[in-house]
Structure 1
C-alpha cells in the first residue's frame, strides 16, 4: 500500500503556506471581504481615538491649559473611544470566527493528507496576517482623516482648544496595526484549536456535525464550555448593570457609562449563548409562521432550528445593532427627561455632549451594519449547494425565495427581540439609578427607525444573496465543492 508522504514543517514555512492561504482567500471572497471590512473599521477606530490622544499629549502646555467647554479631548477619547474600540474588536472576533468556521472542513482535510496541527495553524495565521495587512493601510488612512474631521468639529463647538492639531507621528497607526494583529491572531488561535486538537478524522466529522446532529468528542467539549463561559459573562454583565442601578442620582454620567458597558458585556454573553437563545426563540416564533405559510414557513422554521449555530451567527449582529442603538437612544431620552424635571444639566444632557453621543452612535451603527451585512451575505452564499439540492428535488426558485423571505423575517424578529432585551435591561438599570423606576423613557420614533434599519439590512441581505446563490445549474452546484 502506498504511504502518504509526511509534509515537513519546513515545507510549509513559506510558499506552500502562502499558496494555501491565498487559495482560501480567492475561493471564499465573501467571508474574507467581511473580515477585511471589520478590520478596516477597527484600525480606523483605534487610529481615530489614538490620534486625538496624541494631539493632546504632544500639544504645548499653553494650548492644553486653554479653557474648553466639556470634559476635554483626553476624556472624550477615553470615554467614547473605549466603547467604540470594544465594539470594533467584538465585530472583528465575530467576523474572524465565522470566516474560520467556513473553512473548518478544508482545514480538516489538510490534516487528513498528513499536514500537522502546527502547519494548519500557520496557514490560519498567514490568512489573518494577510487580511490585516490588506485592511491596515486604508483603515489607518481613514482613521487619520476621521480624526482631523472630528477634532475640527470639537473645536467648532468649543470642546477642544483651537491650537490643537493631529500630529504626524505614526504611533497611533502602529498601535492600531498591533491591536488588529493581536486580536486577529488570538481569535485565530482559538478557532484553529478546534480543528487541530482532535484527530484528523474526528475534525473532518465535526465539519458536518451540526447538520447531521452528530456529536464528536471535540464538539461535545465545546458544547459544554461555551454555555459555561456564556453564563459567566452573563453574570459579569448583570453585576455591571447592578453597579449602574445603585449609583446615586447625582452620578448620572457614571451610571450611564456602567449601563452602556454592561450592555456590551451582555451582547458578548449573547454571542456565547446565541445557539440556545436563538433556537428557543425560533421554536416560539416558528409556530405562527408555519400556520400562516405552511410549506415555505415549515421549511424556513426547520432550517433555522436545525442549524442553530448558523442562526446564531445571523442574529448576533442584528442584536448588536438593536441592543447598542436602543440602549443609547433610551438612556439619552431618560436623562433628558430627568434634566427637564430637575433643571440640572449633566454631560449626558448638554447639547454639545448629545452631539458627541450621536456621533458615537453613528460609529457603532456603522460597525453593527457592516457586521450584519457581511455575516448574512456570507452565510447565505455558503448555502449554494443546499439550494441546488432543493431545486433538484422539485423546488422552484420562487419557492426558494419565499422560504428565504420567511427565514429573513424570522431572523430579523429574533435579532430584534434579543437586542431589545439587552437594551431593556441596560436602560432599565440606568433608569432605576436616575429616576427610581425600572421603566425608562422610550423614544418611540427613534426605536422604530432602529427596528426598520435592522429589517432593511437583514431581509435584502438574505433574499438578495439567495437570488444569486440559487442561480446557475443545480447539478453543477451539487457536484462542485461546497461554498
Structure 2
C-alpha cells in the first residue's frame, strides 16, 4: 500500500462508518466543550483587572470553583472519549486486519488510525469550543447572580482555552490510539483477521494488570476520604468523588471480567423464565464479554457518579442537621453547584450510553440476519433484544451501585463515623429509571432498524 493512499483510506473509513465516528465526534465535542468551559473561567479570573479580581465574593472564589468543579467533569469527559475511541477502533478491526493481509505495514495502519482520530478531533473542535465558550458565559452569569463571582468579571475572547482543549483532546486521542491499535498491528495479518472474525472473548494480561493497579488506586483514594477529620469534609467529598471515578475506570478496564459475575447471577432466572428468548439473550451477552463490557460501562458510569453525588449530599445534610454545623457541602450556593455538576456529569454519561448502545446494536446486522436465516422471526429477535436491554441495564446498575456504595461508605465514615450513608431512595430511583430509559429504547429502537432488510443480502454483504 502506497503511503499517499493512507489519507484517502482514512477519509473513506469515516464515510463508510459514520455511526461509529459520529459517536466519537460527540464524545470529543463534550471533551473540548468541558475543557474550554473551565479554561475560560480561569482566563476570566486571571485576565481581570486587579480591583475586580480581588473583590470579595461568597464562596471559595472562581479559580477554586473552576478547579474543583472542572477536575471531575474534564476527567469524565476524557473517560467518555477513550471509551468511544476504543469502540470505534474495534468496529474497524476487520477492515484494518484485511489491509494488513494486502501488504499494509503496521506503521501504515497506525498512521491511518491517527489520521482518522485527528480528523475527528478537528471536526469537533470548532463547535465544541464555541459551546464551551457560551457555556462559560452562562455559568459565570449564574455564579455572579449568586454572589459567588465578582460582578465585573467577563469571559475574554482569547482562543487560548479552545487551543488547550484541542491539544488535550488530540493528546488523549492519539495516546489511546497507540494503545488500542496494538491489537491489530502486533499479531500476524492472518491472526489479526481471525481475531476480527471470532471477536475478542477475553481481556489481555496487560489490561488486567493495569485494571488491578487502578482498582488499588481507587481504594487508596477512598481510604483517604474515609480518614479525613471532621473539619475537612469538603476534601473528603472530593476524594470520594474522585475515588468513584477511578473505580469506574477500573470497571472499564476489567469490564469483561467483572461483568461476568452479575451476568451469571441474573442470567439463570432469565433462562428459567424465558427458555428460548432468555437463553439466547443470556448466551449473547455472556459469549461476547467485550461487547457486554462496552454496553454496561456507560450505564455504570451514569449510575455510579449520579448516585455517589446524591448520596454524599444527603449524608452531609443529615449530619449537618444532627450537629447544627454548616459546611460548604450543605450551603445553599454549594448545593446548587453540586446539582449543576451532577447535571453535567449525567449529561456526559448519557451521551456515552446512547452512543455506545446504538453503535453496538447497529453493528450486529449480520448476526441478526444469520439468526433470521435459521428460523428466527423479527418478533423473536425484538423480544431477545428487549431481554438483553433489561439485563444490560441491570448489570450496569449493579456495577454502578457497587462503586457508589464504596465511595459513599468512605465519605459517610468521615462525616458520621459510620459506613452506612443516607440514601435518598426517590432520587436514586430516578437515576435507575433514567438509565433504563436510555438503555432499553436505545437498544430496541436500533434493533428495529438493524433487523430490517433482506437476510440473505445482509449475510452476503459487508459487515457493519
Band the TM-score falls in, shorter-chain normalisation: over 0.9
Structure 2 unaligned regions, length at least 5: none
- Pick aligned residue for 1:381 from 358, 362, 366: 362
Q: Which residue of 1 aligns with 2:434?
A: 453
- Pick aligned residue for 1:105 from 90, 94, 99: 94
Over residues 96-133 of structure 1, what are the superposed CA-to-partner deviations in whole Å (9 max), with x where a residue is unaligned? 00100111111111111001111111110110011001
- Pick aligned residue for 2:393 from 412, 427, 448: 412
Matched position secondary structure for 1:345 = coil
Q: Which residue of 1 aligns with 2:3?
A: 12
Over residues 420-444 of structure 1, what are the superposed CA-to-partner deviations in whole Å (9 max), with x where a residue is unaligned? 0000000000000110110000001
Q: Which residue of 2 aligns with 1:38?
A: 27
The answer as to 2:130 corresponding to 1:141 is yes
Matches of 1:44 and 1:380, distance apart in 2 = 28
Q: Which residue of 2 aligns with 1:294?
A: 275
Q: Which residue of 2 aligns with 1:171?
A: 160
Matched position secondary structure for 1:12 = coil
Matched position secondary structure for 1:251 = helix
- Pick aligned residue for 2:447 from 429, 443, 466: 466
- Pick aligned residue for 1:434 from 403, 415, 422: 415
Q: Which residue of 1 aligns with 2:221?
A: 240
Structure 1 unaligned regions, length at least 5: 1-6, 214-218
The answer as to 2:309 corresponding to 1:328 is yes
Deviation at 1:18, TM superposition (A): 2.0
Deviation at 1:71, TM superposition (A): 0.4
Note if contact 1:43-1:143 (Cα within 8 Å) is conserved in structure 2.
Answer: yes
Matched position secondary structure for 1:481 = coil
- Pick aligned residue for 2:237 from 256, 281, 298: 256
Matches of 1:293 and 1:450, distance apart in 2 = 28
Matched position secondary structure for 1:81 = helix
Note if contact 1:68-1:158 (Cα within 8 Å) is conserved in structure 2.
Answer: yes
Matches of 1:108 and 1:380, distance apart in 2 = 22
Matches of 1:184 and 1:243, distance apart in 2 = 31
Q: Give the CA RMSD over aligned residues.
A: 1.0
Matches of 2:415 and 2:458, distance apart in 1 = 58
Q: Mapping of 1:84-163 within 5 angstroms? A: 84-163=73-152
Matches of 1:327 and 1:208, distance apart in 2 = 40
Note if contact 1:95-1:375 (Cα within 8 Å) is conserved in structure 2.
Answer: yes
- Runs (4+) of structure 1 exceeding 4 A deviation are none
Matched position secondary structure for 1:207 = helix
Over residues 323-365 of structure 1, what are the superposed CA-to-partner deviations in whole Å (9 max), with x where a residue is unaligned? 0000000000000111111111111110001100110111100
Aligned length: 464
Deviation at 1:28, TM superposition (A): 1.2
Note if contact 1:279-1:304 (Cα within 8 Å) is conserved in structure 2.
Answer: no
Q: Which residue of 2 aligns with 1:216?
A: none
TM-score (norm 1): 0.95
Matches of 2:45 and 2:188, distance apart in 1 = 54
